Structure 1
Amino acid sequence: MYKDIERISSLISSRICHDMVSPVGAIRNGLELLEMSGVKPSLELDLINQSAQNANARLSYLRVAFGDAGGSSKFSQQEITAIIGAYFENKRVRVNWQVTTDQPRSVVKTLLLLIMCFETGLPYGGEILVRTADSTWAITGSDDRTAFDTPHWDAMITGQDFELSSATVHFELARAAMSLNDINPEWGKTSGALRMQFQTNAA
């Protein structure tokens, strides 16, 4: 019997996202065919098209963040920025990805989960800055109105357990990803920002 529950969960997430991408893509293709056939633009078609785009962006992001990070494959810089850009296109939070090199899948998975955590800490919007120098990474979330003092953030910083929900499950997944990659972050908090720094040996 396969006993690695975390691996099974990630594979299930990968499968769900993979299977949902095709029908969402079919909806977008169908809309394009309608436009080519001469159907006049309308608010209804715009709404359907925007919803399909948003769904595709979320699936692409969650497929990496929640999915299986096994293997030695890498994401190109273009792939990473496309996934992040599409996911945050219509959100109040901006992600400033200041990384110019390709990255291992396991590192990208961890970073996308951490970005989701920082997004939760910026309920009114703000900026998430991601930078790296060699093997040292720094993520900073900033805004005048932050929520980095909630129980799940306290648990993330201290390592204590907290009550999970569907809205905060990415915190536990981020902790598991960091543990798997031997990441021990350092934290710095001010009244309007939270910064974490860590090193990774992934190549």
Structure 2
Amino acid sequence: MDDRQSIDLAAMLCSRLCHDMLSPVGALSNGIELLTLETDPEMRANVMQLLEQSARISTDKLKFFRLAFGAAGGFGERVDIEEPKALIEALIADKPGITINWALAGANLAKPAVKVLLNFAQIGIDSLVRGGTLDIGAEIRNGASEIVVRAAGPKIAFDDTIGKALDGSLDRSELSSRTAAAHMIALLAEENGGGLQYARTDDALVLGAVLPESGDLIG
């Protein structure tokens, strides 16, 4: 990937982050404005509840993006499996229509595998527009991290360009804030000697990845 493509990808990832943060941060701003105007104790209590909720959502999203997109310098080369698990559970805390089933083997994963796991989960959550089930599995087998995320529900929303980003066939003109995360993990998997795949039906989306554990991991 040349410098121009790297800049474009970074810009699109920033756009995605800003898009996802706009709602909770906007709610914080609105809540603070209401708090300065409202005098009724009950209404002020409701506003405080809104502020607490928006602050929690903002914090959870920032923690997620830090590890899913960023360098995540606070972590070593391997990440405790409970870290991505907690981040994903926080993402669906306000989505009662989505249920997660976990199948995680081992105490930790390499950082590139964690990035893939988090981004797969985000894609799966985004696809469940009417709720459903998210099955998330990860294990180390034969010297490689194997990751699978299956989203199943009454309606699956999945843009074909995200699929093209995952399989490496995305045209440069199709890179956007919507496809940037999938494009990033496809590059990450390739740089680490692995690969991604996906399959979609009317009621399910399955995302899979294999990333070798050996060698100098990038991510």
TM-score, normalized by the shorter chain, greater than 0.5 = yes
1:60-79 equivalence runs, <5 A: 60-68=63-71, 72-79=76-83
Aligned pair 1:96/2:109, yes or no? no
Aligned residue in 1 for 2:36:
none
- Aligned with 1:159 (options 168, 192, 195): 168
The 3-state SS of whatever aligns with 2:195 is coil
CA displacement at 1:158 relative to structure 2: 4.5
CA displacement at 1:160 relative to structure 2: 1.8
- Aligned with 1:51 (options 51, 54, 73): 54
CA displacement at 1:52 relative to structure 2: 0.4
TM-score when normalising by structure 2: 0.66
RMSD: 3.4
Cα distance in 1, alignment partners of residues 169 and 121 from structure 2: 20
Cα distance in 1, alignment partners of residues 88 and 108 from structure 2: 14
1:103-182 equivalence runs, <5 A: 103-133=109-139, 134=141, 135-148=145-158, 150-156=159-165, 158-162=167-171, 163-182=174-193
Give the partner amino acid of 1:142.
Answer: A
Give the partner amino acid of 1:105.
Answer: K
Does the C-alpha gap of structure 1 residues 75 and 177 become closer, same or farther in structure 2, counting only changes over 3 Å?
same
Give the partner amino acid of 2:201.
Answer: T
Cα distance in 2, alignment partners of residues 69 and 178 from structure 1: 17
Gaps of at least 5 residues in structure 1 are 18-23, 28-38
Cα distance in 1, alignment partners of residues 45 and 191 from structure 2: 49
Does the C-alpha gap of structure 1 residues 43 and 82 become closer, same or farther in structure 2, counting only changes over 3 Å?
same
Does the C-alpha gap of structure 1 residues 182 and 72 become closer, same or farther in structure 2, counting only changes over 3 Å?
farther
Aligned residue in 2 for 1:197:
208
Give deviations 1:137-185, integer Å, cap 9, x for gaps: 322111121123x322341455322523323322222222222222223
Contact 2:136 2:150 in 1 (8 A): yes
Does the C-alpha gap of structure 1 residues 142 and 179 become closer, same or farther in structure 2, counting only changes over 3 Å?
same
Give the partner amino acid of 1:177.
Answer: L
Aligned residue in 2 for 1:82:
86
Cα distance in 2, alignment partners of residues 51 and 45 from structure 1: 10
Please identify, of 103-112 and 114-123, the stretch whose mean Cα deviation from structure 2 is larger: 114-123
| Identity score, percent | 23
Q: Aligned pairs, how many?
A: 178
Please identify, of 101-110 and 45-54, the stretch whose mean Cα deviation from structure 2 is larger: 101-110
TM-score when normalising by structure 1: 0.70
Give deviations 1:49-107, integer Å, cap 9, x for gaps: 11000000000000001102688522213322222222221124443332142112221
Contact 1:113 1:173 in 2 (8 A): no
Give the partner amino acid of 1:112.
Answer: L
Does the C-alpha gap of structure 1 residues 161 and 199 become closer, same or farther in structure 2, counting only changes over 3 Å?
closer
Contact 1:84 1:95 in 2 (8 A): no
Give structure 1 regions of 4+ aligned residues with deviation exceeding 6 angstroms. Answer: none
Contact 2:186 2:195 in 1 (8 A): no
Cα distance in 1, alignment partners of residues 167 and 69 from structure 2: 23
Does the C-alpha gap of structure 1 residues 181 and 94 become closer, same or farther in structure 2, counting only changes over 3 Å?
farther
Gaps of at least 5 residues in structure 2 are 19-24, 29-40, 215-219
Contact 2:112 2:189 in 1 (8 A): no
